[in-house]
Structure 1
Amino acid sequence: MARRKLTAEGTLVLECEGLSQLLNDSEPVVALVAEGRRRGMDVVISALTIIEAAHRRTHPARLAWLLSGLRVEPVGDEQARAAAAVLAGTGLHGHTYAIDAAVAEMALRQQKPVVLLTSDADDMTKLCGGQVRIVAV
């Protein structure tokens, strides 16, 4: 399964559902991340994804261990403005799509090719256009 979805090198981006499934040891997501690493892909999340994926039943040590193997991209003023521009280009509203826009903006500036694991393929396709390969999880 992973071989059809990933390329050599580039970047594998996990949004909330991707990180959540990795935390829960979902076999398809664990396999995709492992295959991405074997192919030399950098595995990246937005700092906001941590907030979105963590909940009271999240085991803190497991989360910390997983995060130690991922590159966590910060979201500062410059990234927030760029995400707002991405939103403006799609007509979507920031109240509902703020974190998705930040993840999309972050994905768009990663080393190409970029593969984004998401549970919201339709919205992420709108936000990323054709520049990022969207894989539904």
Structure 2
Amino acid sequence: MTSRSGTLVLDCDGLSKVVADDREVMALVRGAEKEDMRVVTSVLTLIEAHHSRVNSARFNWAVSRLNVEPVTEEIGRTAMALLVDAGLHGHKYAIDTVVAATALHAPKPAVVVTSDPEDLAMLCGDRVRIVKV
């Protein structure tokens, strides 16, 4: 079994940019893979990123190259605690909070790729590195 040296977590925009073969995000993914980091996304992020204008074949191919993390009870309970700690409501922040909890449970160092670094910083603090795309 190969040891991993951290985790790159893609939020909705990170995943969407992988699907679109965005040069900046793909460079981050390739760099993470080169460093033997796991590249992950939450199953909820798949739902958030998929819509009628997405090329389903391209989406499915891109996702097949990632590790899709389930929302376990442990992730859910961590997400609930993050919401309480940040004074936020799950109605608006549920998926971002699951992404944050996924990153917090992932092998370290954890890096989250997002277009919304403020929300992720509110939820994770300095426990993960946040990269804006």
Into which bin does the TM-score normalised by the smaller protein fall? Answer: over 0.9
2:64 paired with 1:82? no
Q: CA deviation at 1:69?
A: 1.0
TM, length-normalised to structure 2: 0.93
Q: Aligned residue for 2:106?
A: 110
What is the Cα deviation at residue 28 of structure 1? 0.3
Unaligned runs of 5+ in 1: 1-7
Q: TM-score, normalised by structure 1?
A: 0.91
Q: Deviations over 1:49-100 (max 9, x none)?
A: 0011111011111111111111100013332222111111111111110100
**Corresponding residue for residue 61 of structure 2:** 65
Structure 2 matches for 1:9-24, cutoff 5 A?
9-24=5-20
Residue number among 22, 25, 35 corresponding to 1:26 in the alignment = 22
Residue 105 of structure 1: how far off its partner (Å) = 0.4
Please name the residue that 1:5 is paired with. Answer: none
Runs of 4+ off more than 3 Å: none
Code of the aligned partner of 2:56: P
**Structure 2 counterpart SS, 1:112:** coil
> Whole-Å Cα distance in 1 between the matches of residues 112 and 69 of structure 2?
14
* d(CA) in 2 for partners of 1:42, 1:10: 6
Equivalent in the alignment of 1:126: 122
Letter in 2 for 1:136: K
Runs of 5+ consecutive residues of structure 2 not aligned to the other structure: none
Tell me the secondary structure at the aligned position of residue 63 of structure 1: helix
1:131 aligned counterpart, secondary structure? coil
| Aligned with residue 41 of structure 1, among 37, 43, 56 | 37
1:79-132 residue CA offsets vs partner (Å, 9 max, x unmatched)? 222211111111111111010011100100101001100011011001011110
* Aligned alpha-carbon RMSD (Å): 1.2
